[in-house]
Amino acid sequence: MRETVRRHLGKVVAGTGIAVAGTALMVGITLPGTAGADDSAGGPGTAGAAGRTPPGRSPDGSAGQVVEPGVVAEAPPEGERGLGRDPLTDDEIERVAGIALNQRLIRSSEDVEGERGPQRLGIDLAEPEADEVDAADAPRRADVTFYDYRDDTLVTRTVNLDTGKVERTLTRRGVQPPLSRAEDAEAAEILLADPLSAGLKADYEDATGRELTSADQLAVTSMVYGSVPGAQPAALDKCGEHRCARLFPKVVNGPWIDARHLVIDLSARKVARLDR
């Protein structure tokens, strides 16, 4: 047996490989392809002339079932209503959006484009009340968040999914959650219409050979900008009270373009350059 293993190792390893194989044998490790190997080329312990696994065999040379490619199963159908702390279903989201946005709120507010009605930011499952945390039959509620650009207020309306009624409305100022996709798109349009976007447009043309004329030509992410006293021009002093954004644009399927020095005040619909 010792002579057989020695002869086999002499065929498949050389130089420093011999030292590695010797160490493996000393600690009782079976090297891949050596267990049960015979001395004939292409035998049961080998993978064939080009290192391929013979048909009907596993990669280690043993007979076995061929593993089929993985299949991604479709998600199970979603019901109209969730249970307990399940995420909101599409039907629930659509229903609470309609309940939260009543005619009074539509008439008294504006969205990011200046149109009637508030800007919807998000709909999330609400936390249970303190006395309902361990209750198995606690009602499901949803928090629907809007931003009113008419007076720069954040409006959160909590809807009870069981009763279909708005249980409370919370209005706050100076609170700036992340921007929605619609706000990102509008910020990009405001920026492109401003002379301060000249550098952005030049960088885009250098990268693509095409003129930048529409926000649709950019993939945009953003972050909310809040004013820092003494660290920016006076034009941005209201950022935080106003809804302001810094954009991180990139060419669609292409490189990023640095526009971090520009801030878009969505409330005032103006662009300013940060002091450096």
Per residue in 144-186, pLDDT tens?
999 999 999 999 999 999 999 999 999 999 999 999 999 999 9
Listed range (4-8, 201-205, 220-224, 255-259) with the worst mean pLDDT: 4-8
| Cα–Cα dist 267/190, whole Å | 11
Work out the mean pLDDT of the chain and round it to a whole number. Answer: 80
pLDDT at 133: 76
Residue 165: phi and psi, rounded to 5, are -120, 150
By percentage, how much of the chain surpasses pLDDT 70? 72
Question: Hey, which bits of the chain come out as E strands?
Answer: 119-125, 141-148, 153-160, 165-172, 218-224, 244-251, 262-265, 270-273
The model carries a pTM of 0.68
Task: State the average pLDDT over residues 224-228.
Answer: 92
By percentage, how much of the chain surpasses pLDDT 90? 60
**198-208 and 181-192 helices, crossing angle to 10°:** 100
Do the Cβ atoms of 198 and 211 come closer than 8 Å?
Answer: no
**pLDDT for 204 beyond 90:** yes
**pLDDT for 77 beyond 70:** no
Burial class (CB in 10 A: 0-12, 13-18, 19+), 241: middle
